[in-house]
A and B are shown apart, each in its own frame.
Chain A
């Protein structure tokens, strides 16, 4: 049996059909009446799809439990090793980790993002292990290239009409990046579940630029850079200024204990180099909500610096790097729905993205991707990557065969899992 796929236009990277959990195969008979606008109404089909995986769903309660049993029609009669499986949802990361590592009630807990000292304490109990896999998730700072000042009317704030008074100066952006100690941030926030990074495309290795210049903190260098660029503290208030503009930053992120820790640390370092920093934390459902009427979304970016994490699906970064094109900037014209949060606009970048979309040779694509990555990171500092965040999960010592995978669902090889005797 073979499947023929017809693409509507030339597609240099066709390798995302039928690969992984984001492109499943649906049974035609089951989903015949569920395509297009009818899709949201088919709750039974969506909750209990008939598929070719190792387990099939027998029960589904929303936000609570998925009950599964071994698929009798699975292609390998010897697998899976378990007759039934239960996924229990809800609760928090700490409770999930505890259920595996301390009480042994569950075999696998995913996304157990708990502080490093809790990780160490639980691992020491000896009932289970933490496993980590690194995908493409990067926690980063985006520098606003436009002016978010409230003195501009709505519709002109944070748009290309008014460039940013001081973040338009590359020396300021570079100094802000140099003042940050990414190693400390990673240790404080993620422990084994993170690694410092200077790239926005950290993986796969083929596309990862050789970019390690930002990994060492250099406070003195940052100060010298600002001095040389003319940002000096003339009135002794601890804040640098030039041409009447103070280096005063509004730094926003979401409500999240780890992000608040990062904000506090970065504020300290920036204050040291003479940049006044005000912190703001916004509820995630508002920040990521994209509500055109709210001033606190990350698209509106009514702040100077914002911090969040982003990644891309699959292994090809083309769609991800396309986000930083000039026309992708959120603005009133597109109801603030763009993806180019920092409003970076460079015709050379746009041209290179166009070149990438027409390039088929993988080695050439990798080269272009690395160049594009460098253009937004070490060449311009509009995006300041901080931590390469991995998926941290926990499994009990009695569960064997787990190979955590950051590129697919964590249950990708559940057919191979077995009970350790």
Chain B
């Protein structure tokens, strides 16, 4: 297991470097330029100077090598400086976003709390809803509950988040006035009333995303459970006199969890990039919204850094999923 992990990690490094080069070239070669964000009233000579100041007119490979150096040396040095109060990075140029001229990692740092709180909670809530639904649907296959569960899952799959989000806004905010439509990122949770406010403003985006997440996971849970319910060991357990509760929740569930846990682990990177529409709709300033905004503005450093971070997350969580699978299922042996 250890050699397997180490080998995967070593292989990941050239893969990630290659991915970073591909992303950089793709975004760079795509048409469009950050000049589109500058108003038309600015004369061409000034626009040229602005582009030069950004460093956007340098050749591709110069910019790529510079970015590599900034990402792998300057930014971690800045991070260590921030934690331990040292001065490793000094005055070195950080990766600056072309839209806002602030360091890309500052923007990421501003957005991580919201991403984890709202999108992360939605993911956890989605899992929490999906598992019982999946388990009971499989246990009572073809019952009314199962049919209802299938219906809810189909709705969750097929209805896009911009539709369900807008619907929730109209029902819960415009008609019922229960929840606010815009997420207030300046809200500090210090006491009970502010905590209630935080729950209220999280309610709608979390509901929208949890519905979408739960749909997928409940189907995986259900099919995995169904596969295992028919196995011989279940019959043996029942013959031994175990209660239904023990049979289902101890024996069948544990075996069924294996594929589901790996699916959940693979879905974690999507917390960071996948909720773009919901984030835009509710004004939750998450990382997905930052990425789409940067793409529209041709903000190359931001797009490159964020896309690379997603690539790293996906590679890491793929590895975690594989390792988990090996740990949970003793039949699997990696060389």
Contacts and interface: CB of A to CB of B under 8 A. Distances in A.
B173 interface: yes
A63 B37 CA distance: 14
Given A63-B100, A103-B174, A312-B41, 11 more contacts: A40-B53, A59-B186, A62-B110, A86-B184, A90-B293, A98-B174, A103-B180, A285-B32, A285-B297, A290-B35, A319-B43
Contacts of B181: 95, 98-99, 103, 105
A294 B102 contact: no
Contact of B31 (A40, A99, A291): A291
Interface string B179-204: 01110111000000000000000000
Going nearest first, the 5 A-B pairs with the smallest beta carbon separation are: A288-B36, A294-B31, A289-B33, A64-B285, A289-B36
Interface string B32-55: 111111001101100110000110
A307 to B, nearest CB: 14
Contacts of B224: none
13 contacts: A37-B53, A40-B101, A43-B102, A61-B111, A88-B283, A95-B182, A98-B181, A99-B181, A284-B36, A289-B32, A289-B298, A290-B36, A337-B44
Given A285-B32, A313-B41, A40 B54 contact: yes
B281 interface: yes
Nearest to A295: B31
Which bracket fits the contact residues of A?
35 or more
Contact of B293 (A63, A88, A102): A63
Interface residues of B, number: 47
Contact of A293 (B31, B281, B289): B31
A59 B186 CA distance: 9
A91 B280 CA distance: 5
B99 A289 contact: no
Contact of A61 (B37, B110, B173, B174): B110
B169 interface: yes
A289 B56 CA distance: 13
Contacts of B54: 40
Contacts of B169: 98
Interface of B: 31-37, 40-41, 43-44, 47-48, 53-54, 93, 96-97, 99-103, 106-107, 110-111, 169, 173-174, 177, 180-182, 184-186, 280-281, 283, 285, 289-290, 293, 296-298
A331 to B, nearest CB: 13
A105 B33 contact: no
A312 B39 CA distance: 10
A183 interface: no
A139 interface: no
Contacts of B298: 285, 289
Interface in A291-315: 291, 293-294, 296, 310-313
B43 to A, nearest CB: 7
A102 B181 CA distance: 10
A62 B185 CA distance: 12
B186 A65 contact: yes
B254 to A, nearest CB: 43
A67 interface: yes
A354 interface: no
A313 B37 CA distance: 16
A400 to B, nearest CB: 23
Given A65-B186, A105-B180, A283 B283 contact: no
A37 B285 CA distance: 31
Nearest to A37: B53
A91 B182 contact: yes
A43 B44 contact: no
Nearest to A290: B35
A313 B43 CA distance: 11
Interface in A53-69: 59, 61-65, 67
A337 B48 contact: yes
Interface in A249-295: 283-291, 293-294
A397 B47 CA distance: 41
Contacts of B184: 86, 88
Contacts of A290: 33, 35-36, 47
A105 B173 CA distance: 10
A90 B289 contact: yes
Contacts of A344: none
Nearest to A312: B41
A156 interface: no
Nearest to A65: B185
Q: Kindly name the residue among A62, A67, A289, A290 whose own CB sees the greatest number of chain B CB atoms within 10 A.
A: A62
Contacts of A40: 53-54, 96, 101
Given A99-B181, A337-B44, A63 B290 contact: yes
Interface string A185-208: 000000000000000000000000
A287 B31 CA distance: 9
A199 to B, nearest CB: 18
Contacts of B173: 102-103
B101 A294 contact: no
A288 B290 CA distance: 21
Interface in A5-63: 37, 39-41, 43, 46-47, 59, 61-63
Contacts of A390: none
B32 A291 contact: yes
Contact of A88 (B35, B182, B296): B182
Given A62-B107, A285-B297, A105 B182 contact: yes
B31 A310 contact: no
